[in-house]
Amino acid sequence: MFSRYHGEFFAVVQDWTKRSAAETAEAYGSRLFGLEDYDGTCKPLNYMPDETTSIFPLNVGLVNGRGRRYTETDIENGEKPFIPLETFTVQQMGTYRFRIMNIGFAQPFEVSFEAHTIYVVAMDGNDVEDQKCDAVVISPGETVDIKLTAKRQPNNYYINIKTIPTRTLWGPITRPQLTRAVLNYKGVNRFRRPVSVPRLCTQQNPCYVVNQIYGKAPIDSHVVIIPLTKLMSTHDSLTRFPVPIYNDKSQLQEFFLNFHLLRGQPAINGRQFMYPTSALQGQNNQYAISQCEPPRCTSERCRCTNLIKLEIGNVIQFVFFTQGLKAAHPVHFHGHQFHVLKIGFPEYDSVTGNATAPNSDIRCLNDDCTEATWANPRWSYKDLGLNLWNPPIKDTVNVPWGGYVVVRIVADNPGYWLLHCHLGYHQSEGMSLVLQEGDPADMVEPPTTFPTCNSFRTSTKAIQSATQKQKEILERKKKGLNRSHQSETKRTLTVVHTHKESYDQYFHVPGSSNKAEDQSTNRNEVNSTANRTRIIYAHILGHEHNLWDCLVSVQIRSGLLLHLYPAHEMNYQLFGSQVEAIECLILVGYDLDCAVICTELTHPELILVVNSYPRGTLDFPKKQIANKSAIFLDDVHGVVPMISH
């Protein structure tokens, strides 16, 4: 494949945040735009030159897992200059191919090699005719292949991976945040500090940037943008993946998909995606999918399993567009690569580069633009000005705000395929859908020995049946325990619990082997409390909103001891009145808001917390449990010291 090159390199670039992806997504879901910088400084909401939003600041960028944090006061050396950068060694006058992939969470990156001219030779693994440029932009999910000839004097040179320049609402455009690697000429000490030879863009000698996420740069930046559609697929690429052509409009299915933030919520055509509860292929059942049709969805905005049916053999034309709050979206396709036939950009201010109005080629059919069509009726199925000769072939494409992208595939790969925005926080919040390609009869059945996970969603009738059986089991156990421990039993608790071994170890449950007699006085006090408590094991497992349905269906009453999993997804105020008579409460989960729980539930005398987070996150407000006994079990560190009144 790379026979005309002296060598090839692979580089994975990504943004890295101080907080976890889950915490970052949670902050996004709470509308905490801007978040904080690495040092804790609160950051304002930023805007790119076309005025689309850039929510998350870059803390650190990584190349193959290596990187430094560059600050606004030190953009040359980084905060810890002794940390080694990823290094690629080349021979002078050799020609090399670099495949660079953006696997990041939120940031598009502009890639350039200081003092070297580069050529884009492939996008997402599909060859294009060589396109000379100074830099190329790759959004999350995109891959670019770059050709470089090492023509400079032997030395070390920086490879710059920069964010897109941004500004605050009231401020000027700021310096891009930086990530670096090193181009090392053979024979030069790879640890020598690279020479810095930044490219100066001028009116006489402008910089050329391929695949920028907007269509026009500010005039004073002296940057010329080469859009993706200027790249031309090679003959070999088109031989492997011919452009889909149809002879009759009955062979064409066309879909307009608006990737937008509907009242701040990521959605496609107003639908926030809800994942099915089991695999669709081979395990499809009536409970796996939340339908997007009435009676469940009766408004323009809905959370459901958004699914589009594609007929086998048809040419499928998608019009990806984004209207609403200003944001660009890298759209990724599973199961197919597509031909990018056209990109329409919004209207731009000729001086500032600001996007001033959406492209007029698309007509919205309602206020939220959850349905749309071509503004020109003659454009339906023809006369679109599409490149049907040599369009680039990709699996991820950036959709500019106010613009649109026309792509095509042939529906020849039966199955269920995910289509989604590749910004992590947009995908997790619902900017996805499933393409059902063909009927189940067209799809390959999984092997009979293939492991399966059945749907966890069930019916109220099934829950009631299971609850009745559980009652019968508990009654039988109750009679047996009464005979052997009648004198010591003071009250009955139903324990909804999955950590039985932890209970057996720290509470003297009948039938267990408790060897903790020599432990501290505090533990003996808790054990004494447990000895007077008949503990019966049961299990009710819920998930997200289904747990509330489960709790209501079994009619919580006095004596029930709850297991909430995952605890942080529950609104305790919703059912606090239902469980006010609980005598003992057990919480198993993550991110427990104990202050809220203990405020709502005033009666529990004994609280046991089983947690999978490090010990430091188990802080329990002492004033909230002044009249209670508590013991903490930590799955990672074992027993955490008890708090008792």
Helix, strand, coil shares of the chain, percent, nearest 5, are: 20, 35, 50
Q: Which of the pair, 592 or 87, is modelled with greater confidence?
A: 87
Burial class (CB in 10 A: 0-12, 13-18, 19+), 294: exposed
- 122 pLDDT above the threshold of 60: yes
What is the pLDDT confidence band of residue 315, given thresholds at 50, 70 and 90? very high
Task: Indicate if the alpha-carbon torsion angle 292, 298, 302, 308 is positive or negative.
Answer: positive
Which pair of structure tokens corresponds to residue 640? 């955490």
- Window from 97-106, 227-236, 438-447 with minimum mean pLDDT: 438-447
The helix/strand/coil state of 626 is coil
- 373 pLDDT above the threshold of 50: yes
Which domains does the chain possess?
Answer: 7-226 (2.60.40.420), 236-442 (2.60.40.420), 460-643 (no CATH)
Amino acid 566: pLDDT = 36
What is the pLDDT confidence band of residue 357, given thresholds at 50, 70 and 90? very high
CA–CA gap between residue 121 and residue 143 (Å, rounded): 11
- 152 pLDDT above the threshold of 90: yes
For 23, the enclosing helix (H) or strand (E) is helix 21-29
Q: What is the mean pLDDT of residues 600-620?
A: 39
Q: What percent of the chain has pLDDT over 90?
A: 44
pLDDT per position as a tens digit, 176-225: 788 999 999 999 999 999 988 889 999 999 999 999 999 999 999 999 99
- Window from 7-21, 333-347, 584-598 with minimum mean pLDDT: 584-598
- Window from 170-174, 347-351, 450-454, 550-554 with minimum mean pLDDT: 550-554
CA–CA gap between residue 530 and residue 541 (Å, rounded): 24
Amino acid 608: pLDDT = 42
Amino acid 244: pLDDT = 97
pLDDT per position as a tens digit, 246-262: 998 899 999 999 999 88
Q: What is the mean pLDDT of residues 282-293?
A: 74
User: In this structure, what DSSP letter does residue 261 have?
Assistant: E
- 397 pLDDT above the threshold of 80: yes
Q: Which of the pair, 327 or 320, is modelled with greater confidence?
A: 320
Query: Which residues have C-beta within 8 Å of that of residue 271, sequence separation ≥ 6?
Result: 292, 297, 301, 302, 303, 304, 306, 370, 430, 433
Q: Which of the pair, 137 or 470, is modelled with greater confidence?
A: 137
CA–CA gap between residue 190 and residue 154 (Å, rounded): 11
564 alpha-carbon distance from chain centroid:
25
Beta bridge partners of 492: 534
What is the pLDDT confidence band of residue 270, given thresholds at 50, 70 and 90? very high
Q: What is the mean pLDDT of residues 81-101?
A: 95
Query: Which residues have C-beta within 8 Å of that of residue 178, sequence separation ≥ 6?
Result: 61, 70, 75, 160, 161, 162, 163
Amino acid 151: pLDDT = 96
- 554 pLDDT above the threshold of 60: no
**Which contacts qualify for 18-24: CB closer than 8 Å, 24 or more apart?**
18/59, 21/105, 21/424, 24/56, 24/105, 24/424, 24/425
Cis before 566? omega within 30: yes
Q: Which of the pair, 129 or 59, is modelled with greater confidence?
A: 129
User: In this structure, what DSSP letter does residue 33 have?
Assistant: T
What b/e string do you get for 349-384 counting C-beta neighbours within 10 Å, with b at 16 or more?
Answer: eeebbbbeebbebbebeeebbbebebeeeeeeeeeb
Burial class (CB in 10 A: 0-12, 13-18, 19+), 94: middle
Q: What is the residue type of 430?
A: G
Residues in the chain: 645
CA–CA gap between residue 150 and residue 95 (Å, rounded): 6
- 140 pLDDT above the threshold of 90: yes
Q: Which of the pair, 608 or 273, is modelled with greater confidence?
A: 273
CA–CA gap between residue 141 and residue 143 (Å, rounded): 7
pLDDT per position as a tens digit, 18-34: 776 666 666 666 555 54
Place of tokens 């079994």: 554
Nearest Cα neighbor of 140 from 103, 178, 175, 171 is 103
Q: Which of the pair, 272 or 459, is modelled with greater confidence?
A: 272
Which pair of structure tokens corresponds to residue 244? 């889909």
- Window from 287-296, 418-427, 489-498, 584-593 with minimum mean pLDDT: 489-498
Q: Is-contact 422 432, C-beta < 8 A?
A: no
Average pLDDT, rounded, for the chain: 74
pLDDT per position as a tens digit, 41-75: 666 666 666 667 666 677 789 999 999 887 666 66
Amino acid 227: pLDDT = 98
Q: Half-sphere exposure (CA, 13 Å, Cβ side) for 79?
A: 13
- Window from 122-136, 313-327, 441-455 with minimum mean pLDDT: 441-455
Q: Which of the pair, 411 or 284, is modelled with greater confidence?
A: 411
Amino acid 282: pLDDT = 75
Q: Is-contact 517 506, C-beta < 8 A?
A: no
Amino acid 9: pLDDT = 98
Q: Is-contact 541 528, C-beta < 8 A?
A: no
Q: Is-contact 321 405, C-beta < 8 A?
A: yes
Amino acid 572: pLDDT = 36
Q: Per mean pLDDT, which of 274-278, 457-461, 476-480, 550-554 is the most reliable?
A: 274-278
- 139 pLDDT above the threshold of 90: yes
Q: Edge-to-edge strands of the sheet including 396-399?
A: 307-310, 432-437, 415-421, 329-333, 396-399
Q: What is the mean pLDDT of residues 280-295?
A: 75
User: In this structure, what DSSP letter does residue 152 have?
Assistant: S
Rg (CA), the chain: 30
